[in-house]
């Protein structure tokens, strides 16, 4: 879902940069209060894992592919603000080094796949945690959180395209949501699989957010 | 040196980078919509290029160039994520 330059207008791109910069600045403040010994290597390996996993496009229907975003996973493990920081690192390197996502669209991409996806993933997981025991919450809640994060991020992207005058909202919204509802299933399966692997090996890492 | 849990995750991430040539090269969700709805040509070229399309320039073998690009990015992000977290903790 990386927006290249040209898809969004200068005002939309600029707004994205300003909003993303403000959120990242706040995320730095919010995260440094919570940073402990366990979180430091986890932030490093999560950023590395998300980058590598994002390279692995999986095919979905109709000659289309999708890949993990990873924001829901990061936000579930480390909270939404740390999730935003991790996604900002990943998206910035993808943009600056690998030319995936436009330079001027970086703010909008951080907004969609970092800010929106982290918050949606985090809160859907938190709400679903109220239902059922740890196993169900981790698998179903984590999967649902991941799916929602992709679909809501695609809605944000459709709105940006429409406001930019690139494509009417009535066209962009159903098309973006339709294809990302499918890609989101992949996100949900991968996220639930990683969470269940953590639950089996290092269940304490699932509790970092509670403290 | 004791084997720490997160070494395993880093090794897994590097293993995923090795698999990167197997990734689907079909357009992703946004690219599919852009093609179907006719706004793909509004995309502009990148202002500068370092490792465009996750293929390390100057490497003859495309699969090898993709794997190298993946390993470079994975190692970079581990360093940036770890360093940023360390910095945030030190700042407190």
Smallest CA–CA distance from A36 into chain B, residue: B89
Question: Looking at beta carbons, which residues of chain B come within 8 Å of A62?
Answer: 32
Mean pLDDT of B64-77: 98
Full-model pTM: 0.96
Nearest beta carbon to residue B36 from set A43, A44, A175: A175
In percent, the amount of chain A with pLDDT more than 70 equals 99
Q: State the Rg of chain A over Cα.
A: 16
Is residue A107 assigned to a domain? Answer: yes
Q: What is the pLDDT of residues A134-190, one digit of tens each?
A: 788 889 999 999 999 999 999 999 999 999 999 999 999 999 999 999 999 999 999
A123 located within any domain: yes
Is the pLDDT confidence value at A46 over 80? yes
Cβ-based contacts under 8 A for chains A and B:
199
Residue A56 and residue B22: Cβ atoms within 8 Å?
yes
Chain A contact set for B57 (CB, 8 A): none
Q: Give the model's confidence band at B3: pLDDT under 50 very low, under 70 low, under 90 confident, else very high.
A: confident
Collapsing DSSP to helix, strand or coil, A66 comes out as: strand
C-alpha distances (whole Å) from B40 to each of A85, B32, B36, B43, B71 are 30, 9, 8, 6, 30
A5 occurs within a structural domain: no
Establish if A4 belongs to a structural domain. Answer: no
In a domain, A3, yes or no: no
Please count the structural domains in chain A.
Answer: 1
Q: How far apart are the first and last CA of chain A?
A: 33
Mean pLDDT, range A36-41, rounded to an integer: 90
Higher pLDDT, A38 or A116: A116
Q: Residue A38 has what pLDDT?
A: 87
* A62 has pLDDT over 90: no
* CA–CA dist B72, A83 (Å, integer): 22
Strand partners, A59: A65
- The residue segments making up the domain with residue A110 are 10-207
Q: Which of residues 31-70 of B touch A (CB under 8 A)?
A: 32-34, 36-37, 39, 42-44, 46-47, 49-54, 66, 69-70
Whether A95 is in a domain gets the answer: yes
A18-43 mean pLDDT: 93
This model of the complex carries an ipTM of: 0.96
Out of A51, A65, A102, the one facing B73 most closely (by C-beta) is A51
CATH value at residue A75: 1.10.1760.20
Quick check: helix, strand or coil at residue A155? helix
pLDDT-derived band at B1 (thresholds 50, 70, 90) equals low
Q: Determine the residue of chain B that is closest to A78 in CA distance.
A: B85
Is residue A132 pLDDT above 80, yes or no?
no
| Confidence at residue A131, expressed as pLDDT on a 0 to 100 scale | 83
Put simply, the answer to whether B43 touches A41 (Cβ < 8 Å) is no
A23-51 average pLDDT score? 93
Cross-chain residue pair A6–B43, CB shorter than 8 Å: yes
Taking alpha carbons only, the member of B17, B33, B70 closest to residue A66 is: B33
Q: Which of B41, B87, B74 is nearest to A97 (CA)?
A: B74
Give me the torsion for CA of A208, A45, B88, A88, rounded to 10°: -100
User: By mean pLDDT, which of A21-25, A143-147, A202-206 is the weakest?
Assistant: A202-206
DSSP-derived secondary structure letter, A64: E
Confidence of residue B92 (pLDDT cuts 50, 70, 90): low
* pLDDT score recorded for residue B40: 97
- Tell me: pLDDT of A211 over 80: no
Look at residue A186 in the predicted model and tell me its pLDDT.
98
Flag whether A1 is in a domain. Answer: no
Q: Averaged over A73-87, what is the pLDDT?
A: 97
Q: What is the pLDDT of residue A80?
A: 97
Q: Do B50 and A97 touch (CB under 8 A)?
A: yes
Closest in A62, A86, A97 to B51, CB measured: A97
Q: Sort out which chain B residues have CB atoms less than 8 A from A89's CB and list them.
A: 77, 80-81, 84
Q: Could you identify the residue written with the tokens 């997981």? A: A125
Collapsing DSSP to helix, strand or coil, A60 comes out as strand
What is the pairing mode between strands A64-66 and A58-60? antiparallel
Confidence of residue A207 (pLDDT cuts 50, 70, 90): confident
A71 to chain B nearest CA, in Å? Answer: 14
A35 compared with B37, residue with greater pLDDT: B37
Other Cβ atoms less than 10 A from the Cβ of A204: the count is 8
Is A2 within a domain? no
CA-CA distance, A90 to A114, in Å (whole number)?
9
Statement: residue A37 has pLDDT above 90: no
Q: What's the pLDDT score for residue A168? A: 98
Q: Is A62 helix (H, G, I), strand (E, B) or coil?
A: coil
CB B17 to CB A202 under 8 A? no
């Amino acid at each position: 879902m990386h927006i290249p330059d040209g898809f969004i207008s200068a005002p939309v791109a600029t707004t994205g940069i300003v909003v993303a910069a403000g959120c990242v600045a706040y995320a730095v403040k919010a995260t440094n209060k919570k940073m402990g010994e366990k979180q430091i290597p986890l932030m490093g390996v999560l950023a590395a894992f998300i980058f590598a996993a994002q390279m692995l496009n999986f095919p979905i229907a109709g000659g289309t592919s999708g890949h993990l975003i990873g924001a829901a996973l990061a936000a579930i493990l480390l909270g939404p603000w740390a999730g935003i920081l991790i996604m900002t690192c990943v998206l910035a390197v993808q943009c600056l080094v690998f030319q995936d996502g436009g330079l001027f669209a970086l703010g909008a991409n951080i907004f969609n796949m970092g800010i929106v996806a982290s918050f949606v993933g985090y809160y859907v997981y938190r709400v679903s945690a109220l239902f059922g025991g740890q196993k169900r919450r981790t698998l179903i809640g984590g999967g649902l959180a991941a799916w929602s994060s992709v679909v809501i991020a695609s809605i944000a992207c459709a709105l940006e395209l429409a406001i930019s005058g690139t494509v009417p909202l009535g066209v962009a919204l159903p098309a973006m949501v339709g294809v990302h509802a499918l890609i989101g299933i992949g996100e949900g399966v991968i996220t639930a699989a990683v969470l269940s692997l953590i639950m089996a090996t290092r269940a304490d890492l699932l509790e970092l957010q509670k403290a | 040196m004791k084997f720490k849990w997160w070494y395993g995750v880093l090794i897994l991430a590097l293993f995923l980078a090795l698999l990167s040539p197997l990734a689907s090269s079909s357009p992703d969700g946004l690219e599919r919509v852009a093609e179907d709805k006719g706004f793909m040509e509004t995309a502009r070229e990148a202002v500068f290029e370092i490792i465009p399309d996750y293929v390390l320039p100057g490497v003859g073998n495309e699969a090898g160039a993709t794997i190298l690009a993946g390993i470079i990015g994975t190692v970079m992000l581990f360093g940036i994520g770890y360093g940023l977290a360390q910095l945030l903790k030190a700042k407190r």
